[in-house]
């Protein structure tokens, strides 16, 4: 068999989002559940620029007793051209990040101490962006005291 090509990553956009106060639901049978609303922000990249809709997203997290966590992140963007873009994603973190306690205390934490990887889906009805409906995307994310940033990539 001939060698298969290595995958390439194409940067689609960076989302810088502000966060609202966490809603802590406490310990449930699934783990410690919390919701962190994404309140406002901007996505910018080579394919489109967009605003995060204020009521368009949150990070629904479950932190396990082991320190690992799972999250569903969903948000909605409106491009500068008026297209609506829905972005659901999933994150799994094998253990609590080193900088999590300092970040919770309001400190700025270097991205090397608090980053995560996310599997991303992008949906739209806009004909000019229809290609996103069929792409495979990943994101690298990082936190800061009042917000989060995601760099979203197309796996080509």
Which CATH number covers residue 68? Answer: 2.40.160.20
Q: Is residue 89 part of a domain?
A: yes
Q: Is residue 17 part of a domain?
A: yes
Calpha distance 27→48 (Å, rounded): 40
What is the mean predicted confidence (pLDDT) over 113-125? Answer: 88
pLDDT in tens, 28-48: 999 999 999 999 999 999 999
Closest CA to 18 of 38, 47, 46: 38
Question: Residue 108 pLDDT more than 80?
Answer: no
pLDDT in tens, 43-68: 999 999 999 998 879 999 998 888 78
- The tokens describing 25, both together, are 């639901």
Coil, helix or strand at residue 58: strand
Q: Is residue 125 part of a domain?
A: yes
HSE-CB of 142 using CA atoms within 13 angstroms: 10
Q: Is residue 88 part of a domain?
A: yes
Q: How many domains does the chain have?
A: 1
Q: Which domain holds residue 49?
A: 9-155
Question: Residue 105 pLDDT more than 90?
Answer: no
Calpha distance 81→85 (Å, rounded): 11
Q: How many other C-beta atoms lie within 10 A of the C-beta of residue 97?
A: 19
Calpha distance 127→91 (Å, rounded): 29
Question: Residue 123 pLDDT more than 80?
Answer: yes
Q: Is residue 2 part of a domain?
A: no
DSSP state of 146: T
Q: What's the chain's length in residues?
A: 156
Q: Is residue 150 part of a domain?
A: yes
Q: Is residue 4 part of a domain?
A: no
Q: Is residue 101 part of a domain?
A: yes
Which of 104 and 84 is assigned the larger pLDDT?
84
């Amino acid at each position: 068999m001939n060698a298969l090509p290595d995958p390439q990553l194409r940067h689609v956009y960076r989302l810088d989002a502000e966060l609202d106060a966490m809603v802590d639901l406490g310990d449930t049978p699934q783990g410690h559940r919390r919701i962190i609303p994404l309140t406002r922000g901007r996505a910018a990249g080579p394919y489109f620029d967009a605003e995060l809709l204020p009521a368009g997203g949150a990070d629904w997290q479950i932190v396990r007793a082991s320190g690992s966590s799972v999250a569903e992140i969903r948000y909605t963007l409106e491009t500068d051209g008026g297209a609506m873009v829905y972005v659901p994603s999933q994150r799994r973190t094998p253990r609590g990040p080193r900088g999590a306690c300092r970040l919770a205390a309001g400190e700025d934490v270097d991205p090397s101490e608090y980053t995560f990887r996310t599997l991303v889906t992008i949906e739209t009805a806009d004909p000019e962006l229809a290609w996103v409906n069929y792409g495979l995307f990943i994101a690298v994310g990082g936190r800061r005291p009042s917000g989060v940033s995601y760099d979203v990539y197309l796996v080509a």
